[in-house]
């Protein structure tokens, strides 16, 4: 494994900070000074990063840690935000260096998948992999067949083509919902589509990402899983 990837996932050090540590001759593997951030490390070696007091044996596992988190509204998917509460204010210390896959907007809630493996993030965020994201969206009125056909074809908003894989209308207790499945994801994707069709989004909940489902995970709580790499 590349050293920069290892420290990013296991020590919570950003790529930019790690490059500065390399440049300042602060990184050692088996007591040898490292001059390249792409240096390959092995599981039996020892890592030392001076100035920030890190000394540890390299641990490389075939298992990937995944966290399922039920994000409440009004929290943003960011590590640092001067004006908003972030998801990392809720998550415990051991998950502060985890990466989120497919962010959720501040005013949306539901399933957020996080992992300590940056390659998984890059792999599954790309539309070519066909990873599904499923949402239950409450709207302010009945959903028409005409609008369904428009949505299934495409919607153009701000010169961007917005598509869905599937949309299904349903009602519960005099409330109106559309179940939507996306493959690609663009900023405020679903809200922009529905706004173009003159619907108001009352509530937007992501209930599934990839192979993971929200089920009865309580809002603001999380569950940690291990999956094979």
List the pLDDT tens digit at each of the 229 positions of the chain.
Answer: 788 888 877 787 878 888 888 888 889 998 888 888 788 887 678 898 987 888 888 876 667 889 999 999 999 999 888 899 999 999 998 899 899 988 999 999 999 999 988 778 877 877 778 889 999 999 999 999 999 999 988 899 999 999 999 999 999 989 999 999 999 888 999 999 999 999 999 999 999 998 899 988 999 999 998 876 6
Q: Give the pTM.
A: 0.75
- In angstroms, the Cα distances linking 185 to 86, 97, 132, 193, 209 are 21, 23, 10, 12, 12
Can you give the pLDDT at residue 57?
83
Q: Which residues contact 63 (CB under 8 A, 6 or more apart)?
A: 226, 227, 228, 229
Q: Which residues contact 229 (CB under 8 A, 6 or more apart)?
A: 61, 62, 63, 64, 117
- Element housing 220 (H / E): none
Gyration radius of the chain over CA positions: 21
CB atoms within 10 A of CB 28: 15
Can you give the pLDDT at residue 42?
75
Can you give the pLDDT at residue 44?
74
- Which of 198, 145, 207 lies closest to 179, judged by CA? 207
- Provide DSSP, 159-177: TEEE--SEEEEEEETTEEE
DSSP helix/strand/coil, 80: coil
CA distance 136 to 220: 18
Number of helices followed by number of strands (H, E) in the chain: 5, 17
Which alpha helices (DSSP H) does the chain contain, by range? 3-10, 15-23, 118-125, 145-153, 189-196
Greatest distance between any 2 Cα atoms in the chain: 68
Can you give the pLDDT at residue 7?
83
Can you give the pLDDT at residue 146?
93
CA distance 148 to 228: 39
């Amino acid at each position: 494994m590349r050293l920069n990837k290892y420290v990013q996932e296991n020590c919570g050090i950003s790529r930019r900070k790690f490059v500065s540590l390399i440049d300042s001759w602060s990184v050692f593997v088996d007591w040898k000074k490292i001059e390249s951030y792409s240096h390959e490390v092995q599981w039996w070696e020892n890592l030392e990063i001076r100035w920030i007091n890190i000394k540890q044996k390299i641990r490389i596992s075939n298992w990937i840690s995944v966290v399922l988190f039920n994000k409440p509204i009004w929290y943003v998917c960011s590590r640092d935000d001067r004006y908003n509460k972030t998801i990392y204010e809720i998550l415990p210390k051991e998950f502060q260096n985890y990466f989120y896959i497919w962010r959720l907007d501040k005013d949306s809630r539901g399933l957020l998948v996080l992992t300590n493996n940056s390659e998984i993030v890059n792999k599954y965020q790309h539309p070519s992999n066909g990873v599904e994201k499923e949402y239950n969206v409450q709207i302010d009125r009945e959903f028409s067949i005409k609008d369904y056909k428009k949505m299934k074809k495409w919607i153009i908003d701000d010169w961007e083509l917005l598509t869905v894989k599937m949309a299904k209308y349903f009602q519960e207790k005099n409330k109106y919902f559309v179940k939507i499945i996306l493959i690609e994801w663009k900023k405020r994707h679903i809200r922009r589509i529905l706004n173009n069709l003159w619907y108001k989004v009352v509530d937007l909940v992501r209930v599934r990402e990839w192979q993971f489902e929200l089920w009865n995970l309580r809002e603001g709580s999380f569950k940690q899983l291990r999956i094979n790499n």
